[in-house]
Amino acid sequence: MHIMEGFLPPVHAAVWTLTSAPFLVAGVRSLTRILKENPQAKLLLATSGAFAFVLSALKIPSVTGSCSHPTGTGLGAVLFGPSVMAVLGAIVLLFQALLLAHGGITTLGANVFSMAIVGPWVAYGVFRGIRGMGGSLAIAVFFAAMLGNVATYMVTAGQIALAFPDPASGYGGALIKFISIFAVTQIPLAVIEGLLTVIVINLLNQYSRSELIGLRFLPGEAK
């Protein structure tokens, strides 16, 4: 779901960058607060960032100018909240653009908005909703990561459709076309991402339990 360098018209690239900026500012403030209150959470933050970097670097060609892949942002969203994931996701996307030629600098704002902002907010909302209804931790994490991934690809499809509407059917036709193409690879990847995120949470529950308690993440603790 990384839109490649130079693919978006300059005006679109600028608008998405400006749209993402306030979320990044809020994310920095949230990250600063969390580190001040829980210095021991640094390792979990690094783990969340590394998880997103590795998963989102596994790309499969999809819509022209973009690709399909897991996002890995659901883990950080459920652990730290969506604002923090905006910062971690932006760092991941920047390093991938510079080191892997995955995504781009001019399209960084658009990629941040879809993968590091919308995806994590959807993931966090799904997680809190399922937990609030008494759902198990594993079920909540699975659907959070999966639907956060799906939301990211739908936003990316919308961004490309806005930039390149269909000559006959306009934005709506282009959106349906791009969503349909993405779905072939993205839906299975979203399910896999959900399962992988559950596995990581279970491992953290075993080996980083005290840090999870400090974040008030574990069952019976209000986040």
Domain locations along the chain: 10-214
Q: Is 81 exposed, middle or buried (0-12, 13-18, 19+ CB in 10 A)?
A: buried
Q: What is the per-residue pLDDT across 91-110, written as a single tens digit (0 to 9) for each?
A: 999 999 999 888 899 999 99
Task: Please determine, for residue 180, whether its predicted confidence score (pLDDT) is greater than 60.
Answer: yes
Q: Which residues of 9-30 are buried (b: 16+ CB within 10 A; e: fewer)?
A: eeebbebbbeebeebbeebeeb
**Alpha-carbon distance values, 133 to 46, 79, 129, 130 (Å):** 30, 18, 6, 5
**Alpha-carbon distance values, 73 to 25, 64, 163, 177 (Å):** 18, 23, 25, 26
How much is the pLDDT for 221?
Answer: 44
Reported confidence tier of residue 65, pLDDT bands at 50, 70, 90: low
How much is the pLDDT for 137?
Answer: 94
Share of the chain above pLDDT 70, in %: 95
How much is the pLDDT for 117?
Answer: 98
Identify the CATH class of 10-214: mainly alpha
Both structure tokens of 164: 């390149």
